[in-house]
A and B are shown apart, each in its own frame.
Chain A
Amino acid sequence: MKPLRIVVADDEDLARSLVREYLKDSIDIEIVAECRNGFEAVKAVTELKPDLLLLDIQMPRLDGFEVLELIERETNVIFITAYDQYAIKAFDVHAIDYLLKPFSVERLGEALARARKKIDRGEPTTTAALVAEARPPGTRADRILIRDGGDVHVVPMSRIDYVEAQDDYVCFRAEGKRYLKQQTLADVEAALDPARFVRIHRSYILNVDRLARLELYAKDSHAAILRDGTRLPVSRSGYSRLNTLIG
């Protein structure tokens, strides 16, 4: 049997050493990397393409959910947590396996065996869709994460000027830079603060703080002029949404 190649991500040295020790006699498991934070985890997944990631939720820089959001399509994940009420509830609802600290070697073995079965069948062990439910209520993400190879750009939402749909990607414009991310515009719209961002067109979401003025350029058709002079099309329904937001 081909060994399962796993990456362990936890910021506590002792917690990682425990997993190492539990797995040291398993011939069908190979730990290919140990990561101390979310950035390292994303990098390790990109470069090493492991079969499975053991992912602690509470980590510096990027937490486990943010890591999942970035690497979801590339690897399988088993979450590890000491205590996260909301996450555990969401995991149970979605039948997602997780380990509660402290866990036994048997429990770890079970989780790995189950993950291996899913991987062999080609099923993902988890999906990023549960992340919204797994976070405590009222904590909306306030930054956008964009992957650039093994690196991760963290863009605070307040810096985003507008978002544009481009085929299978969305393009975030922030402070003159462009960041491409594989996502739908509808998903982006759902994640952004509705008090600040408005869908002005089928292909555009605008940060209203950047709006300088609106121009009528044809019957029923407007253009938004941004502070930096950029012109964006505004559809009829986008115009009415914009009007409700800015009054």
Chain B
Amino acid sequence: MHPILENRQRLALYLLAWIPIAAILTAVLKRGFASWAEAALIVLPMSLLYAFMCLSAWYVCLAVPMRDQTVLRLLTTLSIASVLSSAVWFAVGAVWTLSIEPWVDFQGLSERYNTQFTPIFLNGVMLFLLAAAVHYLLVTLDASRGVEKRALELQVLAREAELKALRAQIDPHFLFNSLNSISALTVSDPQGARSMCLLLADFLRTSLVLGAKQQIPVSEELRLVEGFLNIEKIRYGKRLSVERSVDPECDGCLVPPLLIQPLVENAIRHGIAPLIEGGTVRLDLQREGPAIEILLENPVDPHASEKVLTGAGLGLENVKSRLARLFPGQANVNVSRDEGRFQVRLRFPCIKLGET
């Protein structure tokens, strides 16, 4: 697309720039003519014409793009184009003066015009070169803007894809083991099998619905965690117990969906599951001034190999990057492990609905 013609604002600016050019041209040529009026009669329409002729400098930009061209080729092309267009321009001017001569009072207009060949021609060449420079500038500007825009679009796309993947994360281990539990319960405890089916359906549906949102009140996330824990309690039986305390001040704080649930999942998978006797997962939500603090604690096998913990680290990286993106510079994720306890502490601003 033509960098000036496609954009009305640019076209208006470009034509506006030609007004002082026309004035200067008139002043220059006035000396060769009888009067201001005579010079203006020739220069003004010629300027208007040349303004449009110079838009063709774009074809030079297309034919000889700035990158990977030798200076020599650029100069040659530009000189030929400018000399040609200026010559054409002068010739059109000559026809114009000749045709209006019978209608105006100025005697020998055409003759005087022809004596002005050198200044008119030189000005034409200069103006064309100037226009070419403007075109090159605009083309480069547009290209760099396009690149920037595309980079930005790509970034947004990548971010969206990442978020989608994060939200859609339902641990296949959890899913298949739960189905296996249902299969086991069908004969020994049909009621239990049905209620586990319902719990699982409810959990999957809720995580799909919540996962599609940007932010949700913390109470909804806690409901999801509750549903998840109810299923895990059936699977792990007495090995899993849960302690939780939620500060009522945290009500209504917005959190990214599926922030806490995957952490609880990690706590069970890497903390409780490897322990023969199981243990207690603790979840605390507290309000600390303008911030909400979420603490999750679980026991770990002191003899566990390190690889267990690197697995947990991956989920934590996700949480860190999500919080960092939502609350740049204001979110804090703290992980500690000592004496068989593993602790994750999240701290970020509590923003309530309608406060954004």
B306, A21: Cβ atoms under 8 Å? Answer: no
Q: How far is the CA of A142 from the CA of B274 in the complex (A)?
A: 16
Given contacts A17-B188, A60-B275, contact A102 B301 (CB under 8 A): no
Chain B residues with CB below 8 A from A12, complex form = 177, 180-181, 235-236
Q: Is the CB of A13 within 8 A of B237?
A: yes
CB-CB under 8 A from A82, the residues of chain B are 172-173, 175-177, 180
Q: Cβ of B187 and Cβ of A21 under 8 Å apart? A: yes
For residue A245, CB closer than 8 A to chain B, the reply is no
Chain A residues 140-187 with CB under 8 Å of chain B are 141-143, 154, 156
Contact with B183, one of A11, A102, A139, A141 (Cβ below 8 angstroms) = A102
CB-nearest residue of chain A to B174: A82
- By the criterion CB–CB under 8 Å, are A142 and B188 in contact? no
* A102-B274 in contact (CB<8A): no
> Is the beta-carbon distance between B180 and A141 smaller than 8 angstroms?
no
Give the contacting residue for A21; candidates B173, B184, B273; CB below 8 A: B184
Q: A101 contacts B276, CB within 8 Å?
A: no
Query: Closest CB-CB distance, B177 to chain A, in whole Å?
Result: 5
Per-residue CB contact flags for chain A residues 43-86 toward chain B (1 = under 8 Å, else 0) read: 00000000000000010110000000000000000000011000
Q: Which residue of B lies closest to A84 (CB)?
A: B173
B235 in contact with A14 (CB, 8 Å): yes
Does residue B69 face the partner (Cβ distance < 8 Å to A)?
A: no
On whether the beta carbons of A142 and B180 are closer than 8 Å, the reply is: no
B7 within 8 Å of A by Cβ? Answer: no
Whole-angstrom CA separation of A101 from B177 in the bound complex: 6
Closest-by-CB residue of A relative to B171 is A83
Interface residues of chain A: helix, strand, loop or mixed (majority): loop
Rounded to whole angstroms, the CA-CA distance of A83 and B170 in the bound complex is 12
The A112-149 residues at the B interface (CB cut-off 8 A) are: 139, 141-143
**Chain A neighbourhood of B172, CB < 8 A:** 82-83
Q: Which of A11, A58, A101 contacts B180 (CB 8 A)?
A: A101
Q: How far is the CB of B193 from chain A (nearest CB, A)?
A: 10
Residues of B within 8 A of A18 (CB): 180, 183-184
| Minimum C-beta distance from A191 to chain B (A) | 13
Q: Is B182 an interface residue (CB 8 A)?
A: yes
Alpha-carbon distance A139/B274, docked complex (angstroms)? 17
The reply to whether A60 and B274 contact each other, CB–CB distance below 8 Å, is yes
Distance between A17 CB and nearest chain B CB, rounded to angstroms? 5
B185 CB–A CB distance under 8 Å: yes
Give Cα A38–Cα B188 distance, bound, in whole angstroms: 26
A207 at the B interface (CB under 8 A): no
Known: A14-B184, A101-B180, A142-B306. A83 touches B273 (CB 8 A): no
Would you list 7 pairs from A and B whose C-beta atoms are within 8 A, ordered by A residue? A12-B177, A15-B181, A21-B184, A60-B275, A61-B274, A82-B172, A101-B180
